[in-house]
A and B are shown apart, each in its own frame.
Chain A
């Protein structure tokens, strides 16, 4: 199959490469770019392990062609760490509140939570449970994930307030 030239931004870096038109974004990220944070869990958009941020929206990269990401700005969990390489508030809160076990859903979970907190910086528990319902976890029962996201929102807001 003939290949097409794709160019996009991933975690702040301009990247380009050749890919078949049918290549899924998740496979381009994982196999061409070796960005292996996002995972494949179901191939049908149900589990959210492949969630990445594309032009300011959460997308499930197992059902997006890399061709659709032409020119897009894509962020994965690898791109969410602080500039100095330390864990972001959200990542730290997942650790603090035991919001992960096997870690397989975690990259998608954190990437989605990151976007959720942009969409709604002061969510209630119900908002978090609804906003995260596109990401499945088989280990935690979500209770500590919800706790971690609410804690991160609180810290973010306190930091914002202090800065103002």
Chain B
């Protein structure tokens, strides 16, 4: 190695470490159809499971007759709640401290609820069996409105009758779940009472669904000889699923192997534990055969994991110059028939208390009331860190409403209220310590990039043209400055079912200097196999191309809480860096021994340890890897391995400035996105290409949510949006083109300064799109109109404002 002539820069580039747009290693498989998703798994003798689902939103189940179904050719068994009851599995605990029916136990609480589970030799026979199960229902009054539910005499959860104490404190009504309060109520009310200006508005963030292209599914395989259960599934948190399965089934945890293979998108849909998993496990135990269950799209949209559905009543107080003095928010949260929200235990409304956003608001109060209704349970974080999307939408709408009240430019109102760079770390009125930020720099860069001043002039001209009849199109400029809170989280206050939300990485360096690293997370498209290798390459001086990243097999990967809430890079990424540093520390001792100097006399240089002041005396990481296996080094164990369990000291707080320019046709309600500019600051950037891809994808989800996507019910609780005909997923035709940009403000507490980015574009883009719609109609007196802003609703705004003449 002494003839090594490469410069440090060339050696560094060859590592493909942090900061380079390394091509994804996953893509070689995926581009030729060689992925391995759950539905691709085929085991010998495998059976298929399918659900009989309730056609009613609220009904008693009078009887279930499975006799005809059992005669259907290919049907092996039909499970009902009665079959699960002796095992104690007809109900299961939810992630939110509630319990949920696995199969209908006497009644159903939402349309599409699982009533019986048919097991058959193939998926066609299972569907035939489902058709043949006869269920008699007795309809009950339906509650789809959370406000009405809190007043109604109708008891949805009879199993909780008389329970005045829930998992998160007192229950005020039989359809009430919890009240969660943060901040100082009295002080906030005093500020509101004495303020120059108070703007008040009800901001509704409608119910939607993550709808990954691959639905949820699993293959349960109980080996009766070894007593070992193998559960393949679309799990965003495989280790947590293993623990949950052990706790509810009684199977010892070491006898359960959970495997998340390739996952076709998650976006929060695949965090929870669903009836299909429980029934498949039971079915495999009962039949002694592997049992596969894969949702169809209708099952997916109707039963697993809705998102949002927050009614946020807000009041914002300010001086007449526009300095915000207080924020008050009362949220009514529609949780559906069971409280199955996926939030850390101590946060029943997630991180909704980040709703002071990017602003220095001295006094604030938040209360959230969770409510049962006859809708599907869920409440997952759809590409969001536990209700941050709702919080960001709320504050970014309230800022706009306040700007209208003050007759101020909304960009300027934001600027004068931003938390200043010198205020970080910043203690928010609702209890968070923001780690770092430079909002003014990002904001000025964004406004300059889009030519904000000229856009406003153009908009004024357009308004004149509209008024004089020259055009029927209005122009809207949608502004957003969001602050995320991700990387859950510190074990001291973040757990799910009592499991601390740390994460992990284990590294083994092979004798020839390549390596494998395993993590407690699981990629669903984020490209972990690519980016985690980049972190390691920079930390341990081994090329990313020589490092295999493996996730998702609980028999081999260290324990971790999985991938959601943008936590992989902030938590597992930190564990990766820390494990890498342990490797490096041992390598340093080996190098010092081989170079016959003191440990402190060698230093790390890209891919090697060099004797200080003697650059030609060095040992490369490859040489040190081999030495660790073939040299007897006094005081050191052989081998070169490390494991790190990382408990983050704080959350990370990525932020960004998004601007959308939109034309709206007042006669058709159609929109055209002329420009969408997205500036993200996610701290240290690991792979710019992947960051940009995350922003495109998240912003497209935001576009869908803001402009058309919703889970809608009629008054009978009928699900109106259960296929992709009705549930809006944008195509390449209407999806806008995005311009991406960035600033870099590293996290001071993260080992490599990274903050996470996957969810920022969903959090930031929804208010940007929505604000553009509102902004277009601002001159005509519109202050608030609920999403989604589909053509019909935009047309209706124009009609209601008298713009149709």
Q: Which residues on A are within 8 Å of B, measured CB to CB?
A: 1, 20, 22-23, 27, 30-31, 34-44, 46-47, 49, 76-78, 80-81, 87, 91-92, 94-96, 98, 100-107, 110, 128-130, 132-146
Could you tell me the dominant secondary structure of chain A's interface residues? loop
Q: Is the CB of B39 within 8 A of A39?
A: yes
Contacts of B34 in A (CB 8 A): 37, 78
Cβ of B614 within 8 Å of any chain A Cβ, yes or no, is no
A77 to B32, CA, bound (A): 6
Contacts of B267 in A (CB 8 A): 138
Q: Is the CB of A39 within 8 A of B725?
A: no
Q: Which residues on B are within 8 Å of A, measured CB to CB?
A: 23-24, 26-35, 37, 39-40, 42, 73, 122-124, 211-215, 262-265, 267, 296-297, 524-527, 689-690, 692-693, 696-701, 723-725, 729, 731-733, 735, 737-738
A89 to B56, CA, bound (A): 51
A55 to B40, CA, bound (A): 25
Contacts of B40 in A (CB 8 A): 30, 36
For residue A145, which residue of chain B has the nearest CB?
B732
Q: A95-B28, A101-B527 are in contact. Are A141 and B39 (CB under 8 A)?
A: no
Q: A103-B29, A106-B30, A128-B732 are in contact. Are A41 and B701 (CB under 8 A)?
A: no
Q: A44-B724, A133-B732 are in contact. Are A102 and B212 (CB under 8 A)?
A: yes
Q: Is the CB of B693 within 8 A of A104?
A: no
Contacts of B735 in A (CB 8 A): 141-143
Q: Is the CB of A20 within 8 A of B696?
A: no
Q: Is the CB of B211 within 8 A of A138?
A: yes
Contacts of B264 in A (CB 8 A): 39, 41, 102-105
Q: List 16 A-B contacts (CB under 8 A).
A: A37-B32, A39-B37, A39-B39, A87-B31, A95-B23, A96-B23, A98-B690, A101-B265, A136-B213, A138-B211, A139-B697, A141-B697, A141-B698, A141-B700, A142-B700, A143-B735
Q: Is the CB of A39 within 8 A of B24?
A: no
Q: A27-B123, A34-B42, A145-B732 are in contact. Are A100 and B31 (CB under 8 A)?
A: yes
Contacts of A36 in B (CB 8 A): 33, 37, 39-40
Tell me which of A44, A81, A138, A143 has the highest count of chain B C-beta atoms within 10 A of its own C-beta: A138
Known pairs A103-B31, A143-B735; list 13 more (Cβ under 8 Å).
A1-B73, A31-B42, A37-B32, A76-B33, A78-B32, A87-B31, A102-B263, A106-B30, A136-B213, A138-B267, A138-B729, A140-B697, A146-B732
Q: A101-B526, A136-B729, A143-B738 are in contact. Are A41 and B213 (CB under 8 A)?
A: yes
A30 to B572, CA, bound (A): 35
Q: Is the CB of B697 within 8 A of A87?
A: no
For residue A20, which residue of chain B has the nearest CB?
B124
Contacts of A141 in B (CB 8 A): 696-700, 735, 738
Of the candidates A1, A38, A94, the one whose C-beta lies within 8 Å of that of B27 is: A94
Of the candidates A92, A129, A130, A138, the one whose C-beta lies within 8 Å of that of B701 is: A138
A106 to B73, CA, bound (A): 36
A139 to B159, CA, bound (A): 40
Tell me which of A76, A104, A146 has the highest count of chain B C-beta atoms within 10 A of its own C-beta: A104
A104 to B729, CA, bound (A): 15
Of the candidates B124, B265, B731, the one whose C-beta lies within 8 Å of that of A23 is: B124
A137 to B33, CA, bound (A): 16
Q: Is the CB of A140 within 8 A of B696?
A: yes
A125 to B684, CA, bound (A): 33
B234 to chain A, nearest CB (A): 11
Contacts of B689 in A (CB 8 A): 98
Contacts of B700 in A (CB 8 A): 140-142
Q: Is the CB of B213 within 8 A of A47?
A: yes
A123 to chain B, nearest CB (A): 12
Could you tell me the dominant secondary structure of chain B's interface residues? loop
Q: Is the CB of B32 within 8 A of A138?
A: no
Q: Is the CB of A102 within 8 A of B524?
A: yes
Contacts of B690 in A (CB 8 A): 98
For residue B29, which residue of chain A has the nearest CB?
A103
A-B contacts counted at CB < 8 A amount to 173
B123 to chain A, nearest CB (A): 7
Q: Is the CB of B35 within 8 A of A103?
A: yes
Tell me which of B34, B262, B524, B696 has the highest count of chain A C-beta atoms within 10 A of its own C-beta: B696
Q: A102-B212, A102-B525, A104-B214 are in contact. Are A78 and B23 (CB under 8 A)?
A: no
Q: A77-B32, A102-B264 are in contact. Are A22 and B723 (CB under 8 A)?
A: no
Q: Is the CB of A98 within 8 A of B738?
A: no
A150 to chain B, nearest CB (A): 12
Among all A-B residue pairs, the 10 with the closest Cβ atoms: A37-B33, A104-B264, A102-B525, A103-B30, A141-B696, A141-B700, A101-B525, A46-B724, A77-B33, A91-B31
For residue A106, which residue of chain B has the nearest CB?
B30
A48 to B503, CA, bound (A): 36
Q: Is the CB of A42 within 8 A of B30?
A: no
A42 to B212, CA, bound (A): 10
A90 to B112, CA, bound (A): 41
Q: A34-B42, A98-B689, A102-B264 are in contact. Are A87 and B28 (CB under 8 A)?
A: yes
Contacts of A87 in B (CB 8 A): 28, 31-32
Of the candidates B31, B527, B693, B724, the one whose C-beta lies within 8 Å of that of A106 is: B31
A148 to chain B, nearest CB (A): 10
Contacts of B30 in A (CB 8 A): 100, 103, 106
B408 to chain A, nearest CB (A): 33
Contacts of A103 in B (CB 8 A): 26-27, 29-31, 35, 262, 264, 525
Of the candidates A43, A81, A133, the one whose C-beta lies within 8 Å of that of B297 is: A43
For residue A105, which residue of chain B has the nearest CB?
B213
A146 to chain B, nearest CB (A): 6
For residue A97, which residue of chain B has the nearest CB?
B689
Q: A95-B24, A101-B693 are in contact. Are A42 and B723 (CB under 8 A)?
A: yes
Q: A80-B32, A137-B213 are in contact. Are A101 and B697 (CB under 8 A)?
A: yes
A136 to B296, CA, bound (A): 16
For residue B215, which residue of chain A has the nearest CB?
A41
A34 to B36, CA, bound (A): 12
Contacts of A137 in B (CB 8 A): 213, 732
For residue B700, which residue of chain A has the nearest CB?
A141
B128 to chain A, nearest CB (A): 9
Of the candidates A94, A102, A144, the one whose C-beta lies within 8 Å of that of B31 is: A94
Tell me which of B32, B33, B37, B725 has the highest count of chain A C-beta atoms within 10 A of its own C-beta: B33
Q: Is the CB of A43 within 8 A of B296?
A: yes
Contacts of A43 in B (CB 8 A): 296-297
B91 to chain A, nearest CB (A): 30
A96 to B697, CA, bound (A): 17
A138 to B28, CA, bound (A): 20
B13 to chain A, nearest CB (A): 18
A37 to B30, CA, bound (A): 8
A76 to B33, CA, bound (A): 8
A78 to B265, CA, bound (A): 21
Contacts of B527 in A (CB 8 A): 101
A44 to B23, CA, bound (A): 34
A110 to B31, CA, bound (A): 8
Contacts of A95 in B (CB 8 A): 23-24, 27-28, 31
Q: A22-B124, A102-B263, A142-B700 are in contact. Are A44 and B33 (CB under 8 A)?
A: no
Q: A31-B42, A102-B265, A138-B729 are in contact. Are A38 and B28 (CB under 8 A)?
A: no
Q: A87-B31, A102-B263, A136-B731 are in contact. Are A46 and B725 (CB under 8 A)?
A: yes
Of the candidates B26, B213, B263, the one whose C-beta lies within 8 Å of that of A49 is: B213
A96 to B27, CA, bound (A): 9
Contacts of B731 in A (CB 8 A): 132-136, 142
Q: A22-B124, A44-B724, A138-B697 are in contact. Are A98 and B692 (CB under 8 A)?
A: yes
B762 to chain A, nearest CB (A): 11
Contacts of A142 in B (CB 8 A): 696, 700, 731-732, 735
Q: Is the CB of B732 within 8 A of A102?
A: no
A130 to chain B, nearest CB (A): 6
Contacts of B697 in A (CB 8 A): 101, 138-141
